[in-house]
Amino acid sequence: GAGVSQSPSNKVTEKGKDVELRCDPISGHTALYWYRQRLGQGLEFLIYFQGNSAPDKSGLPSDRFSAERTGESVSTLTIQRTQQEDSAVYLCASLPQGAAGELFFGEGSRLTVL
């Protein structure tokens, strides 16, 4: 596709349910990042994938959060047993290999936990 695609765009769930968010990066982009943005707040790093290297999971806030990426394609972010404080916009961004590429963000997935 032409840009970074995220789905769903909106998700309302009940506390305790699991949710899965999807990010489809730009074809050929080896780096993929997940961030979280709470209302009125800045970007909070969650996880970073670079090609076939081990992901940098240092930003995941708890073991309820996990993410996978198959090769250099789609990534899924899974939140288990959702809590109200998980409510945020989850943003995905991708970069091509090397330092010279432009950073592209998806439109985000807005998660509301009731």
Partner 1 sequence: KNEVEQSPQNLTAQEGEFITINCSYSVGISALHWLQQHPGGGIVSLFMLSSGKKKHGRLIATINIQEKHSSLHITASHPRDSAVYICAVKRSQGNLIFGKGTKLSVKP
Give the integer Cα–Cα distance in Å for 65 and 75: 13
Q: Which is nearer to partner 1, 17 or 45 (CB)?
A: 45
Q: Are the C-beta atoms of residues 59 and 45 closer than 8 Å to each other?
A: yes
Among 26, 75, 108, 111, binds partner 1 (CB under 8 A): 108
19 binds partner 1 per the rule CB under 8 A? no
First CA to last CA distance, the chain? 33
Q: Which is nearer to partner 1, 43 or 80 (CB)?
A: 43
Shortest Cβ distance from residue 4 to partner 1 (Å)? 10
Q: Are the C-beta atoms of residues 38 and 44 closer than 8 Å to each other?
A: yes
Instruction: Tell me the longest C-alpha to C-alpha distance in the chain.
Output: 42
55 binds partner 1 per the rule CB under 8 A? no
106 binds partner 1 per the rule CB under 8 A? yes
